[in-house]
């Protein structure tokens, strides 16, 4: 249920009496530390298991490593 709470609380998924409605779910861009990092892939697998629409999940494979390698701003 904690996962469903994140989906509804943060990602715009609706919980219709136990049936998840992804019509207004946000498109998610996930990243972690870089191409060798399994953290965002693990999250993406969990999202797919929950039925999150494939076309609403993007994987930024380069992650923080590629981001920093281009000298881009971090906060």
What residues line the site for another protein (CB under 8 A)?
Answer: 34-36, 38, 41, 61-62, 65-66, 68-71
What DSSP state is assigned to residue 13?
-
Question: CB 40 → another protein: shortest distance, Å?
Answer: 12
Q: Name the residue nearer to another protein (CB basis): 10 or 35.
A: 35
As measured in angstroms, the least distance from the Cβ of 43 to another protein is 14
Closer of 10 and 69 to another protein (Cβ): 69
> Residue 30: CA atoms inside 13 Å, Cβ hemisphere, count?
19
65-to-3, 30, 38, 57, 70 alpha-carbon distances in Å? 28, 14, 13, 20, 9
């Amino acid at each position: 249920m904690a996962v469903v709470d994140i989906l509804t609380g943060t990602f715009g998924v609706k919980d219709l009496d136990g049936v998840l409605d992804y019509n207004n779910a946000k498109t998610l861009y996930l990243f972690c530390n870089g191409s060798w990092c399994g953290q965002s892939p693990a999250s993406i697998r969990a999202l797919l298991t929950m039925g999150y629409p494939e076309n609403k999940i993007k994987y930024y494979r380069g992650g923080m490593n590629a981001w920093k390698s281009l000298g881009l701003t971090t906060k």
